[in-house]
Amino acid sequence: ATPTALLVGTGRGAQMGILIKGPEVLESTRRVDTVVLDKTGTVTTGRMSLAHVHTSDGVSEEDALRMAAALEHASEHPIAKAITAAVADVPAVTDFKNLEGLGVQGVVGGKLVVVGRAGLVDTISDDLLNAKEVAERKGHTAVLVAWDGRAQAVLSVADTVKPTSAEAVRGLRALGLNPVLLTGDNEATARNVAAEVGIGTVIAEVLPKDKVDVVRRLQAEGHVVAMVGDGVNDAAALAQSDLGLAMGTGTDVAIEASDLTLVRGDLRSATDAIRLARRTLGTIK
């Protein structure tokens, strides 16, 4: 590709809300065959809301929510916002700890409280386990609230698929690319979202620090990987990808780690970007 053609392509991208770090970035799209899509905030809006609360006998919904909110008050996770929004008077927490990609823990009213993924809690009743499965089958994220050494409640937290995500995935396929959904969320929830937007390959329950290894593994298998993400937990994987695309609505760390920024936070821009790059490279041969 001639420098002029690349510059023209870069300029056209800017008009479409696609910010390209340098003209050479367009070249790296040439052989991309796999597009890894982060779930929360990329395929979905990431604006979560509390859909349902299920408690064990003797525990009120209010108590379960207050315990959870006490911890989530100190967290920046989208799940945390959904839970704190549902509680007016949030109790104080001490010894707060963020369990990256798993949940949060701390001491509330003298009790050690853990909030997050099922794997964090050893003891869970069949009733709560059932509530967890019901939530996940709906595509919600089941958040366990535990104290006194066992699960006391399941909070069902709902995210929404962006209205343009399914069209974006169809567009990626039309370009001959294979979309892969990557998330720290549980398998059932991830499959639900994947089915809604037409993605067949799901890699779920991946810890933030392990997302980069998923990209490395795909590359080791011979794939040329583009990745679209928005979170702090996506940054390393975005940097490792052959082409990193950050949602403009995402974190600064993700944007810095990427080759391309999708200003509108619309997944269709990812398809547009790859199509634009191919056209730019094609026209000049």
> Exactly one of 38, 159, 185, 266 is catalytic; which is it?
38
Task: Identify which range of 14-22, 84-92, 100-108, 245-253 contacts ligand ADP by CB under 6 A.
Answer: 100-108
Distance (Å, whole) CA 147 – CA 121: 9
Kindly report the CA angle at 235 between 17 and 116, in degrees rounded to 5? 115
Minimum Å gap between C-beta 192 and ligand ADP is: 13
Question: How far is 70 from 89, CA to CA, in rounded Å?
Answer: 9
Segment 217-236, which members bind Mg ion (CB under 5 A)? 230-231
Contact predicate 242/224, CB 8 Å: yes
Task: Closer to ligand ADP by CB, 20 or 154: give it.
Answer: 154
Residue 145, helix vs strand vs coil: strand
Q: Is 184 in the site for ligand ADP (CB under 6 A)?
A: yes
**Among residues 17, 91, 198, 208, which is the contact residue for ligand ADP, using CB under 6 A?**
208
Q: How far is the CB of 122 from ligand ADP (least distance, A)?
A: 17
Amino acid at 15: Q
State how far the alpha carbon of 39 is from the alpha carbons of 59, 194, 240, 267, in Å: 33, 9, 18, 11
Residues that bind ligand ADP (CB under 6 A): 39-40, 72, 75, 77, 79-80, 101-104, 115-117, 141, 143, 183-185, 208, 231, 233
Catalytic residues, by residue number, are 38
Interface ranges with Mg ion (CB under 5 A): 38, 40-41, 230-231
